[in-house]
Structure 1
Amino acid sequence: MKGAELIGRRVLDRDGTSVGHVHDLVFTQRGQDAPRFELVGLECGKAGLGDRLGYLRGSMAGPWPLPALFRWLGRHSLFVEWSQVRALHADRVELAVARVQLCPFREVSR
């Protein structure tokens, strides 16, 4: 499976409650001499565009309404650890945990 195939899939918690859609994949770098990247989680929620453009945690600036709008839209994004994924289906991602156990994406350190 390609990572891009996960983007846009519906995410359901263990009880079938909607968590939103996958907006981004979170990787960490392992090793220095021959670095490789490992998938550690997913950004899920209702809006993820602002983060991908660098408005939420980056230094991206622009016309004053854009950063505020993207921060407002992304305020409810959640982080799903890859270990919390129970099953992948063609149209959805099922989690092994309840939605309330997920942490806000803005609190995830990169």
Structure 2
Amino acid sequence: MLAGDLLGARVVDRSGKTAGSVQDVVVRRDDGEYQVLGLVLGRSALAGRLGFGDSLEPPTPWRHLLAWLRRHERYVRWEDVVSVETNRVEIGVDHASLPRHWHQEG
């Protein structure tokens, strides 16, 4: 499976409720190998794709607009993914417990 195959897939939490759709895949590169860290869920990941998220702060005039664009964004760690099927990802946590944004760990 390619990371691009996950984009747009519907995500269902452990209670069967829709948690959103996969908007982006967060990866880390170590010694030439890529490791999936998690998935960004929501309606759109435009702000994150522009690079504004974890460590890059947007310019002041754009801060509120980009925060508004990210208002539905949620992050699920790859460890919390239970199964991946065509156009469907099941996670083992409740949607309400997901953090609003991805932040680089360690």
TM-score (norm 2): 0.82
Q: 1:55 to 1:67 in 2, by over 3 A?
A: farther
Which structure has the greater CA radius of gyration? 1
Q: Does 1:92 align with 2:98?
A: no
1:28-61 CA distance string (max 9 Å, x none): 232xxx3322001001112211210124453565
Identity of aligned residues (%): 31
Tell me the CA shift for residue 71 of structure 1: 1.9
Alignment of 1:23-62 (within 5 A): 23-30=23-30, 34-57=31-54, 58=56
Q: Does 1:2 align with 2:2?
A: yes
Aligned length: 104
57, 71, 76: which is aligned to 1:75?
A: 71
The list of structure 1 runs, each at least 4 consecutive aligned residues, that deviate by more than 4 angstroms after superposition, is: none
Q: Whole-Å Cα distance in 2 between the matches of residues 56 and 70 of structure 1? A: 9
Map of 2:104 onto structure 1: 109
Code of the residue aligned with 2:4 in structure 1: it is: A
**RMSD between aligned residues:** 2.1
Name the SS of the counterpart of 1:103 in structure 2.
coil
Q: Does 1:18 align with 2:18?
A: yes
Q: Which runs of 5+ in 1 are unaligned?
A: none
TM-score (norm 1): 0.79
Q: 1:40 to 1:56 in 2, by over 3 A?
A: closer
1:52-77 CA distance string (max 9 Å, x none): 0124453565xx4x553332021231
